[in-house]
Amino acid sequence: MDFGIAAQVYPDDYHFGRSATVVDIHDGPDQLALINIVQQLHASLDPRTVFACFGKVLGQYLPLAGIQAQFAEMQLSWGKRIGVSLKRHLNNEICRSAVLDYRLDAPLTPAQIRVLQTLESMLVQPLLNAIQYQKMSEQAMFDTLTGLGNRNFYGQAIKHAVARASRHQDKLSLIVLDLDNFKQLNDTHGHQFGDAVLRQFGALIKSAIRNTDQAFRIGGDEFVVLVRGELDSATLLCERILSKLAKGSFFYRNRIHTSLGAAEIQAGENQDNLYERADKALYQAKAAGRNCYRLSLQHPVKG
């Protein structure tokens, strides 16, 4: 692993004020302490927790005020953004050109630089493990094409939402929707165009829902939205999606429409019952001519 040190070297007898928490050492932690540090760093698979642990450990041996780091698309921060800046670059296959920006109460001596190198080398692997784990978890839970939750995530989320609604008597609704005549679009314009439609439709749904709602692509052109609220809330969301679709130039130009079905959970229902009723409402919308929505247990409503 290649570490680039961007720091002026100061003599060993350079004196500066230290905080009371800094250990007065020259060679860093002993072997037993190193083992303990490794165990601490490997104790979590959350990148922010590992990074914070690293900052706290460094703060015991060095005059450290804070650290900021940039790992690809992930930014991590611990402590304060004040003091002398010491930037170091980490180059490896997984974490290309990552930058660690240390903020120090005073410049480091050569002995302290060696301590930093030792502890820094111990940080990299557990942090990369945590970053990789987070990426794999996201890939396992999110649809790569639209960025919405995938079928696996939906299965977990709907069970949790139904259980919560049952415990706390919360209102919960479900919208099932798909693109009208999507197979024909794919056959006519090709799969690349179909993927573009799905990406933009996913973005449209994401822009239409509230922060309390969750949207998923569960297969092909089929989407679902978990709505935290009663059927009136789901109705407003259906209308908002149809309105955005009608106003979107890409969708209007290519005559892309959607049909939606919505249902509110009833006492004693499970997630399968709720989905089945919303799905039946969707097929009622299809039968009514598409490009509209229908509500389970409600009078038909034009889109």
Q: What does residue 28 show for φ and ψ, rounded to 5 degrees? A: 85, -165
Predicted local confidence at residue 126, as pLDDT: 87
**163 plus 80 within the same structural domain:** no
The closest alpha carbon to 65, from 106, 10, 5, belongs to: 106
What three-state secondary structure class fits 69? strand
Residue 95 counted as domain residue? yes
Residue 14 counted as domain residue? no
Sequence letter at residue 211 = N
Predicted local confidence at residue 34, as pLDDT: 76
Which residues does the annotation mark as catalytic? Answer: 221
The tokens for 157 are 């989320």
HSE on the CB side for 117, CA within 13 Å? 15
**163 plus 240 within the same structural domain:** yes
Whether pTM exceeds 0.85: no
Residue 25 counted as domain residue? no
**95 plus 160 within the same structural domain:** no
Residue 146 counted as domain residue? no
Residue 223: give its domain's CATH number. 3.30.70.270
Predicted local confidence at residue 98, as pLDDT: 79
**168 plus 48 within the same structural domain:** no
Predicted local confidence at residue 28, as pLDDT: 61
Pairing of strands 64-71, 98-104: antiparallel
Last residue in a domain, options 139, 172, 195:
139
**124 plus 253 within the same structural domain:** no
Predicted local confidence at residue 128, as pLDDT: 80
Residue range of the domain that includes 63: 31-139
Last residue in a domain, options 139, 159, 179:
139
Q: Quote the number of domains for the chain.
A: 2
Last residue in a domain, options 85, 119, 139:
139
How far from chain centre, in Å, is Cα 269? Answer: 30
Residue 209 counted as domain residue? yes
Residue 69 counted as domain residue? yes
- Sign of the alpha-carbon dihedral angle for 13, 14, 15, 17: negative
**167 plus 288 within the same structural domain:** yes
Predicted local confidence at residue 13, as pLDDT: 33
Residue 282 counted as domain residue? yes
What does the pLDDT profile of the chain (303 residues) look like in tens digits? 333 333 333 333 323 233 334 444 445 677 677 778 878 788 888 888 888 988 998 998 999 999 998 876 678 899 999 999 999 887 655 556 678 899 999 999 999 999 998 888 887 788 888 887 777 776 688 898 999 999 989 999 999 999 999 888 889 999 999 999 998 988 888 989 999 999 999 999 999 999 999 999 999 999 999 999 999 999 999 999 999 999 999 999 999 999 999 999 998 899 999 999 999 999 999 999 999 999 997 544 444
Residue 145 counted as domain residue? no
Residue 128: give its domain's CATH number. 3.30.450.40
